[in-house]
Amino acid sequence: MNAGREKIGFVGLGHMGGNMASRYLSAGYSVYGEARSSEGLEDLLDEGLSWCDTPREVAQSADIVITSIPNDDVLREIASRDDGIQAGLEDGKVWVDMSTVSPRASREVAEQVRATGAQMLDAPVSGSVPQVQSGTLTIMVGGDKQAYDRVEAVLEVLGSPTHIGDNGQGLVLKLAINISLAVQMLALSEGLLLAERDGVDTKLALEVMTESPIGSPMLKARVPLILDSSGEAWFDVDLMRKDIRLALQAAEELHVALPSAHAADEVLTRADELGYGHRDIAALREVLRSSDGSN
């Protein structure tokens, strides 16, 4: 099938889902969408988004349904309610869930989807809104290989997809990556605080640190947010804390020790207690400063 003729459906049109839908519209796809409210989606509607009233209507209208939602509870709800996605699926359709949820919940829903004749893939991403907009997301896909082959070209509109293995394994790898993201941000914040405390200029310290071997693309990109984390979050503390908790849950099931993830969880929990939940993870530097009494 010509991937360019696939009709794309979206359930969830927040920061990530909305920008993904916009990218497909710009690429000439027919895009159907549903969210809890159409408020704030005027630009997407002007770009040509076809509004649907329910997830079921999206699934009925589209060949490939894409979701980007916050957690297990929402995944199960939009999947199984009377007007949910499963009610609109049929043989030949593919549901691509690009959320970061628990591998266990994703596998449960994928099994239910197979009963409709459709396939569900877990396809979490590494990257945030800037990477969506530039089409440079890293996409890790778990599930049926034939279903992956069917949607590979469609996912390439958003970035670089890789088939990882069975259902849930894309999510496991995503959680593995996010452990490193949280720990990198925490380690940089600790090092920066140490340098600042001895009088090193903050901007100079960040410049040297991020140009050194520790300067990952994620850390380099966040320098402006470290200096001023009051703006729009790319990946907020609450979402990172959720992902670390999912990683710890998966690790418990697999009998894997994750000492650095536990340390990150402790600081992320403290960040939430201090009111940083909706701030970008770059705010961990401020959290550490607050925790040790510095200004």
The percent helix, strand, coil of the chain (3-state, each to 5) is: 55, 15, 30
Instruction: Please provide the CATH number assigned to the domain covering 3-165.
Output: 3.40.50.720
pLDDT of residue 2: 39
Angle of helix 169-197 relative to helix 259-273, nearest 10 degrees, comes to 70
pLDDT of residue 293: 55
CA distance 266 to 268: 6
20-26 average pLDDT score = 97
pLDDT band, very low/low/confident/very high, at 211 (cuts 50, 70, 90): very high
The answer on pLDDT for 4 being more than 80 is no
CA distance 57 to 109: 19
Stretch(es) of the chain classified as CATH 1.10.1040.10: 172-291
* Residue 271, C-beta contacts closer than 8 angstroms, at least 6 positions apart: 237, 241, 277, 279, 283, 284, 287
225-230 average pLDDT score = 88
CA distance 205 to 193: 10
Longest dimension (CA), the chain: 64
CATH 1.10.1040.10 for domain 172-291: yes
Q: What is the pLDDT of residues 66-93, one digit of tens each?
A: 999 889 999 999 999 999 999 999 999 9
* Residue 137, C-beta contacts closer than 8 angstroms, at least 6 positions apart: 125, 126, 127, 131, 158, 159, 160
CA distance 80 to 28: 31
Query: What are the start-end ranges of the H helices in 125-168?
Result: 129-134, 145-155
How many Cβ atoms are within 10 Å of 40's Cβ, its own excluded?
A: 11
The answer on pLDDT for 153 being more than 60 is yes
pLDDT of residue 229: 79
pLDDT band, very low/low/confident/very high, at 1 (cuts 50, 70, 90): very low
Task: Give percent above pLDDT 90 in the chain.
Answer: 87
Angstrom CA distances, 50 to 47, 65, 74, 83, stand at: 9, 14, 22, 18
Angstrom CA distances, 275 to 89, 195, 223, 233, 241, stand at: 41, 25, 21, 14, 13
- Please list, residue by residue across 259-273, b when 16 or more beta carbons sit within 10 angstroms of its beta carbon and e when fewer do: ebbeebbebbebbbe
CA distance 101 to 80: 16
pLDDT of residue 5: 75
pLDDT of residue 37: 82
221-241 average pLDDT score = 90
Nearest CA-CA partner of 221 in 185, 260, 175: 185
Task: Give percent above pLDDT 70 in the chain.
Answer: 97
224-238 average pLDDT score = 88
pLDDT band, very low/low/confident/very high, at 99 (cuts 50, 70, 90): very high
110-128 average pLDDT score = 95
42-55 average pLDDT score = 96
Stretch(es) of the chain classified as CATH 3.40.50.720: 3-165
Active site members: 174
The answer on pLDDT for 232 being more than 90 is no
* Mean per-residue pLDDT over the chain, rounded: 94
* Residue 222, C-beta contacts closer than 8 angstroms, at least 6 positions apart: 185, 234, 280, 281, 282
